[in-house]
Every structure is written in C-alpha cells, then in structure tokens.
Amino acid sequence: MRTTVALAILAMTSAIHVAQAAGDGTAVEYYRYQDDKGQVVLSRQGVPPEHISRGYQVLDDKGRVLREVAPAPSLEERQRLAEEKARASSDAQLLRIYSEPKDVDRARDRKLAELDGLISVAQSNLHSLRTQQANLQAKAAEFERAGREVPEHLLVQIDNIKAEQAGVEKDIQRYRDNRTAAEATFAADRARLVKLRGE
C-alpha cells in the first residue's frame, strides 16, 4: 500500500511539473480515488461513475486537499438513517398530540369505549339474529312433524339469517382485535411520551 501511495505521489508530482511547465495559468485540479482493486488513482479527468460511491478527494497542483466527498452510506446505514428519521417524525407528532401521559390515558379510554360500544351493538344484533333463526327453525320443524315439505322461502330465510350471523361474528372479532391493538398502541405511546418528557 505504501508503494502504491508513493507511486501515486510521484505521478502527481510529475503531472504538476508538466502543468507548471505549460504555464497556462489555469488552476489544475486532481482527483484521488480508489479503484476496484483498492489502488489509489490520481487523475485530472475526474472520477469514473462506478467509483464515486467510494468517495474521493480533490487536490490542487501542490497536492493539498481542496475538498473531500465522503463515501455513500451503505444499505444498512441508509436503513438506520431512515428508521431514525421515521422515529424523530413519530416523536414530534406524539409531542404535538399529547401534552402529558394523562392525555394518552383519556384518548385510550375514549377509543376503547367506542370499540366496546360497537361490540355491544354487534352482540345485541347477533342475539336477535339467533332468536330469529330459532323461530324459523321451529316453523320448519312444524312442517316436518306434519309430514309436509318445508317451504323454499323458509329455507332461504334460515340460510340468510345464518349468513348474517357469520358476518356479525366476524365484525365482533374485528372489533375485539382492534381493541387489543389500540390498547397496545396507546401503551407504547404512553411509554414513549414518558421517556421523551424525561418523567
């Protein structure tokens, strides 16, 4: 590596002498970067696109560094920076919404009460549908006991009631899942707010 750097410096010195001999008076800039093999390259032509991501230096005709371009961040570094940015944005929003932990508690209680209300209404609807189904099935049983065929419209009603019940049961499960998720979200928000406020 030392030999490579020494050769690069020697090449740069030679180039400087040539430029000085030309005496054109224009400022000369050199680009120093590493190629695919890790060797230091000194060029007046600029840095090839495929090497820019590794970073490079711009030198004057005396070998002094005029500016330095840092290497591009790795994928892991970019992901970390994106996560930090998202976290900072989330924290800022949290502080805008809530002044203190009690605000989180009140918001949580309102949300859970809303979901409990939806669950209660859905359960009431489900109970009503089950009662309707039981009544329809009792009518169908009467036809069967009398040795008569159950009317088609009655069978269709029973099937429709069963389908409605299945839909309401899914709604209830969704509301319950939402309730569990809301509790977890509010708990996380409260803990984060406490940490941000240093309480």
Asked if 90 and 63 sit in the same domain, the reply is no
Instruction: Give residue 26's pLDDT.
Output: 60
Asked if 90 and 180 sit in the same domain, the reply is yes
Asked if 81 and 63 sit in the same domain, the reply is no
Q: Which of 69, 93, 109 is the last residue of a domain?
A: 69
pLDDT band at residue 161 using 50, 70 and 90 as cut-offs: very high
b/e code 113-147 from CB counts within 10 Å (16+ = b): eebeebbeebeebbeebeebbeebeeebeeeeeee
Asked if 168 and 112 sit in the same domain, the reply is yes
- How many domains does the chain fold into? 2
**20-74 pLDDT per residue, tens:** 444 445 678 999 988 888 889 888 888 998 888 889 999 998 889 999 988 888 7
Flag whether pLDDT at 129 surpasses 70.
yes
Q: Which of 69, 100, 121 is the last residue of a domain?
A: 69
Asked if 62 and 84 sit in the same domain, the reply is no
Domain that holds residue 179: 77-197
Flag whether pLDDT at 116 surpasses 50.
yes
Between 185 and 43, whose confidence is greater?
A: 185
Asked if 92 and 158 sit in the same domain, the reply is yes
Q: How far apart are CA 26 and CA 53, in angstroms?
A: 28
